[in-house]
Amino acid sequence: MRSWQVETQCPQCGAPVTLKEAQHVLSCSYCKTRLYLTPNGPFRYAISPKTASAETIYIPFWRIKGLGFTAYLPPKTAGSLIDKTYLATDVSLDMVSLGTRPQVMRLGFANSQKGLFIRPRRDFKRLLDCAIRQLNSPITERETIRDDPNIFLTDISGGDPFDRSDFSHWSPERTRTVFKKYDPVVSAFLDEGNSLVYFPVTAEAGDTVILSDGLTNRPIGKLTPSGLERLTKTAATAMSPPGALPLLCPNCGWDLDCAEESRAVLCPGCDKVWEIRRGHYASIPFEVPAKGNPDAFYLPFWKIKTTIPRLALHDTRDLARFANQSHIPRKPSPLHVFIPAFKMRPRLFLQLCKVFTCAQPETHPADRLPKAPYPILLKRDGIREMIPIVLAEIGAKKARFYPNLNRAEPAVERVTLAFLPFRQTGYEAVYEGNVTFAIPRNVLKWGRKL
C-alpha cells in the first residue's frame, strides 16, 4: 500500500518538506535542521480541498492503524494488520470511512486558521474498543479433513483383499469439509500511531443545507440550517501544527541518531536511548549480551520482566515446564517476555515473540550502545497486553490454561530494551545466540513500510 504523504514546512526556514504518515522525524534538506515532531495528542492531518476557502468545513475521521492479535478457542492464535478510518462526528454523510482517499490526496497538518475544523465527537478510546471488538469476534474457518482409507481392506472392489485387478472404486484421498468455529479468548493491539484526518466539505445554504465533497464537489450529505449551526459551533478554536524538539541529546548535546519512523532515538555521544513522552525526552534503560560481537547488527526487543501467578508462571523453570521444553533449567531465573521493538508481518512477529521468550536470551544492563543498532519502530505502549497472546503461542497444554488466559493479569516489574545480535547473510539475518533462528532480510525491510 502506498503510504500517505504529508506536506509541511520546515519550522526553521520555511522550505517545503514532505513527510510520511506518522513520521516523527523532520529533516530539512535546505537548512539541515532535524526535529522530532511532538503533536499535542494524535497527529491531525487535513486533506487539501480543491479550492481553499475560510468557509471550508473539515470533518474529522479517526484513523486506527496497528498490529492486532487474538488467541482463540479451540486453541489458535492469529494476527492481522488493522488499518481503518472511522467518521468521528455525528453528521450523516454518504461516506463512513475515507477509503483510499488519503493515499492519493495531498495531506497537510490541520490548522484552525485555514477553515472550520470540527472537533471529533466520537471518543477515540471507544473506537479503539470497537476495533478490538472486531478482533474479538468469533471466526469460522473451513477445514478440509482427509480420511486416509485403508486401501487393502476396504477399498478394493469385490471384498477380496487380494484381488487387485480393479482399482476403479479406489480414491487415494477422501476429504470432508467441516466448518470450525473459533471463539476469541484474549486480544492485543499494538498501535502504530493513530491519527485524526480531516476531510473538506463545503456547505451550500438553503432550506436544506447540502454538504459537498471538497474534492469532487459531489453532494455527500444534508443538514438542516440549525444542524449546520450546531455543527460549526463544535469547530476547534485553536489547532496548530505539531510542536518539535531539536534532535539533540538533552544530556550531552550530541546529534541524536534515528530513522525517520523511529519511536525512540539513540545518542552516540553519551550512549543513551531516549523515548519522547509528552514533548520531552525520557531515557530508557537498555541491555546487551555480555559478550559483544563486532560483526553483528543488533535488533531491539522490549524485554518485560514479569510473573503470571494465575498461570503459575514465576520463573524460567516454570516457563520451561509450561512450554514442555526438554531442557528444564537447574537454577530458576526471573522470567522475561520478549517482544520485537520493530514491525513485521503479524504471523512472523508472533513467532519472534515465541522463539525469544522460550530462549530467554541473557542480556545485562549496559552503558554502551551496541554497534549498528536497528531503529526502534514500536513504542512500548500496549506491549503488556501481548503477554497472554505470547503465552497462548508458547504453552503446551493448551486445553488446561486457555480458559484462564483472559484473567492472566501479568504483573510487570520492569520493561527494558534488549539489543540482540544478528549476522547478515545473503538473504537472512541469523541470530547469534542461544537458539537457531533466522529472519528473511526482506521481511525487515518490508516491516518498515507497514
Binding site for Zn ion (CB under 5 A): 10, 12-13, 15, 28, 30-31, 33, 249, 251-252, 254, 267, 269-270
In this structure, is the dihedral angle defined by the CA atoms of residues 385, 389, 391 and 397, taken in order, positive or negative? positive
CB of 264 to Zn ion, least distance (A): 14
d(CA 437, CA 220): 53
d(CA 116, CA 58): 6
- CA distances to 147, 306, 434, 441 from 358, rounded to whole Å, are 35, 14, 11, 22
Q: Indicate the residue among 182 and 254 with the shorter CB distance to Zn ion.
A: 254
Q: Indicate the residue among 128 and 417 with the shorter CB distance to Zn ion.
A: 417
Show the cell assigned to 58: 473539515
Let me know: does 385 contact 189? Beta carbons within 8 Å: yes
Q: Indicate the residue among 272 and 384 with the shorter CB distance to Zn ion.
A: 272
Let me know: does 286 contact 417? Beta carbons within 8 Å: yes
CB of 29 to Zn ion, least distance (A): 8
CB of 281 to Zn ion, least distance (A): 10
Let me know: does 179 contact 140? Beta carbons within 8 Å: yes
Q: Indicate the residue among 86 and 274 with the shorter CB distance to Zn ion.
A: 274
**5-9/107-109 β-pairing:** parallel
CB of 272 to Zn ion, least distance (A): 5
Q: Indicate the residue among 251 and 293 with the shorter CB distance to Zn ion.
A: 251
Q: Indicate the residue among 149 and 269 with the shorter CB distance to Zn ion.
A: 269
Q: Indicate the residue among 27 and 112 with the shorter CB distance to Zn ion.
A: 27
Written as one string, the DSSP assignment of 197-247 is EEEEEEEE-SSSEEEEETTT--EEEEE-HHHHHHHHHTB-S-----EEEES
Q: Indicate the residue among 30 and 446 with the shorter CB distance to Zn ion.
A: 30
Written as one string, the DSSP assignment of 324-367 is T-SPPPSS--B-EEEEESS---HHHHHHHHHHHHHH----EE-S
CB of 266 to Zn ion, least distance (A): 9
CB of 8 to Zn ion, least distance (A): 11
CB of 293 to Zn ion, least distance (A): 24
The C-alpha cell 522470567 sits at: 335
d(CA 261, CA 23): 5
CB of 253 to Zn ion, least distance (A): 7
Q: How far is CA 425 from the centre of its chain?
A: 27
